[in-house]
Chain A
Amino acid sequence: MRLSDLQDKKVRGLDGETLGRVHEVHCDKGIVTAIMCGPGSFIERLTAKKKGRRIPWECVRKVTDGEVVVTPDPPQRKAKGSTGSRTRQRTPRSSGRPSKR
């Protein structure tokens, strides 16, 4: 992949909502952390000022020729030995008493 495959591409949510165009890609320790999108891309480039919506790279679902598809929330990280369920795990209680829920 190249930076030009991301730059200026339309950003769309999974629900079809257009969120803007990619005008910046943030990188740290050599790894892309987020893309910035929004309508003010030319102004940001010209003035080098921060503007627009930050979307973590983990939220990027698909990159095609014309667009970047993202989810609104970053995916949950899988902890070791977990079932992968999205529900919160209960903290084990030594007394064995059930939680209030």
Chain B
Amino acid sequence: MTPDSPIKLVSELLDLPLYDNEGKYCGIVDDVELSGGPGKPLKLKALLVGPGAYAGRMPEWAMKLVKLMAGDRITRVPMEKVRTIGTAVHLECPGRALGLYKSETAAGHWIPEGGAL
């Protein structure tokens, strides 16, 4: 399936894993950005990745817990960068070009490199 195919956004796109064109795992589709509104066409604009995107999907008290554990960053993946949608979403560019590894890179400063076989 491509982004232009008939698709059910909740059961066939939301919460799917994302892989970039290098096969690297980039996160999960946490929400979907739409442009338009009632009375106008509503278009798929971008995928939202990151715990900050949970804000519309859970109560505020749960969001505070999530923010404590996982932060509140959001990364936007424009639909033009999506190549296929199936059991996972595959992108047509590297994840780092979209800013998808920033949190991992930040956490990496805490982990020394060495000692592992």
- Note whether A and B contact each other (Cβ less than 8 A): yes
Binding site for B on A (CB under 8 A): 1-5, 7, 23-32, 44-45, 48, 57, 60-63
Contact B57 A60 (CB under 8 A): no
**A1/B8 contact (C-beta < 8 A), A7-B57, A27-B44, A31-B42 known:** no
**A2/B31 contact (C-beta < 8 A), A30-B44, A31-B42, A32-B42 known:** yes
Query: How long is the Cα–Cα vector from A30 to B35 in the complex, in angstroms?
Result: 11
Contact A60 B38 (CB under 8 A): yes
Query: How long is the Cα–Cα vector from A60 to B42 in the complex, in angstroms?
Result: 11
Main secondary structure of the interface of B (DSSP, over half): mixed
Binding site for A on B (CB under 8 A): 3-11, 14, 31-39, 41-44, 48, 53, 55-57, 79
**A3/B31 contact (C-beta < 8 A), A30-B79, A60-B38, A61-B38 known:** yes
Contact B10 A7 (CB under 8 A): yes
What are 19 A-to-B residue pairs whose CB atoms are below 8 Å? A2-B31, A3-B9, A4-B31, A4-B53, A4-B55, A5-B56, A24-B9, A26-B9, A28-B7, A30-B43, A30-B44, A30-B79, A31-B42, A32-B34, A32-B41, A44-B11, A57-B41, A60-B38, A61-B38
